[in-house]
């Protein structure tokens, strides 16, 4: 475990419903009397939110894959150091909307950087801190496209706006992680209404040895 608390990450492609599920899970755990810190990446601290703006803005010429990976790792380092580790140390549950596996899926699967390099950046930046459990919200691309159309109305950010082939590589990378690292991942069917998906999330947590 990553300290006295509990560290849960939510991962998946665009439009999978991570933010909604993160919020519902936070409410459920707070109702059980737990202290919950709900946060997101890139972001979560002042410094990391500033890096987020640099990464996702659609102005300017953008970043190459290596610079992008370094910026995500730098944002994560600040987030881990200032928010996540202190919260875990005092026994809180940390729920994080995206974390390291997004770098592995987007900058690795999407952009072709090596998984070993991305893990090295994480070791250097954040001493390799991993969640106790990562929930992968899996949604067929047609469903995701429909949700995004409603949410973004054509105004996606710099990374969300990349082409379908890029997002297919990202989705395949996430599926590969869940298959090859089953001890770390719970794969959640993200189709259906938010309440149905939330019930699947709670069932996945109840199945864990440590219990939320
Ligand atoms: P965000 O709006 O937070 O995610 P979503 O679109 O899922 O609601 O945008 C974050 C974007 O950054 C998203 O396209 C995924 C991407 N990303 C990476 O490429 N690498 C990373 O390490 C992280 C954390 C996010």
Dump pLDDT digits (tens) for 67-122: 999 999 999 999 999 999 999 999 999 999 999 999 999 999 999 999 999 999 99
Pocket-testing residue among 101, 102, 158, ligand 1, by greatest number of atoms within 8 A of Cβ? 102
* Closest residue CA from atom 23 of ligand 1: 102
pLDDT in tens, 20-51: 999 999 999 999 999 999 999 999 999 999 99
How much is the average pLDDT of 192-212? Answer: 88
Name the one residue in this structure whose structure tokens are 């070993």.
116
pLDDT confidence of residue 155: 78
pLDDT in tens, 161-176: 888 899 999 999 999 9
pLDDT confidence of residue 209: 64
Q: Among the atoms of ligand 1, which is closest to the Cα of residue 42? A: 24
How much is the average pLDDT of 146-154? Answer: 77
pLDDT confidence of residue 1: 45
Are 34 and 92 spatial neighbours (Cβ–Cβ below 8 Å)? yes
Q: How far does residue 87's CA lie from ligand 1's centre (Å)?
A: 23
* Residue 33: DSSP 8-state: T
Around ligand 1, the residues with Cβ closer than 6 Å are 14, 18-19, 40-42, 56, 72, 98, 102-103, 106-107, 157, 159-160
Domains of the chain, residue spans:
6-211
Taking the C-alpha atoms of residue 211 and residue 3, their distance in angstroms, rounded to an integer, is 15
CATH 3.40.50.300, domain 6-211, yes or no = yes
Rounded to two decimals, the pTM is: 0.94
User: Cα 1 vs. chain centroid, distance in angstroms?
Assistant: 18
H/E stretch holding 67 reads helix 65-79
How much is the average pLDDT of 181-207? Answer: 96
Mean pLDDT across the chain: 93
pLDDT confidence of residue 156: 77
Pocket-testing residue among 98, 101, 157, 164, ligand 1, by greatest number of atoms within 8 A of Cβ? 98
Answer with the residue of higher pLDDT: 41 or 1.
Answer: 41
Taking the C-alpha atoms of residue 7 and residue 196, their distance in angstroms, rounded to an integer, is 23
pLDDT in tens, 47-68: 999 999 999 988 889 999 999 9
pLDDT confidence of residue 212: 56
């Amino acid at each position: 475990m990553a300290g006295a608390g509990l560290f849960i990450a939510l991962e998946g492609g665009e439009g999978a419903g991570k933010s909604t599920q993160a919020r519902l899970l936070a409410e459920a755990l707070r109702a059980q009397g737990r202290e919950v810190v709900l946060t997101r990446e890139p972001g979560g601290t002042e410094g990391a939110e500033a890096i987020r703006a640099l990464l996702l803005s659609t102005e300017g010429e953008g970043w190459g894959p290596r610079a992008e990976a370094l910026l995500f790792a730098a944002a994560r380092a600040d987030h881990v150091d200032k928010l996540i580790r202190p919260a875990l140390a005092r026994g809180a549950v940390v729920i994080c909307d995206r974390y390291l596996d997004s770098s592995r899926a987007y900058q690795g699967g999407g952009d072709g950087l090596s998984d070993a390099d991305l893990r090295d950046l994480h070791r250097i930046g954040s001493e390799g801190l991993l969640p106790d459990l990562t929930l992968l919200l899996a949604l067929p691309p047609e469903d995701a496209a429909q949700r995004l159309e409603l949410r973004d109305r054509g105004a996606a950010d710099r990374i969300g706006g990349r082409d379908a082939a890029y997002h297919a590589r990202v989705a395949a990378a996430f599926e590969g992680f869940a298959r090859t690292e089953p001890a770390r991942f719970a794969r959640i069917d993200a189709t259906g209404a938010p309440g149905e998906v939330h019930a699947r999330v709670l069932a996945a947590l109840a199945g864990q040895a440590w219990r939320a």
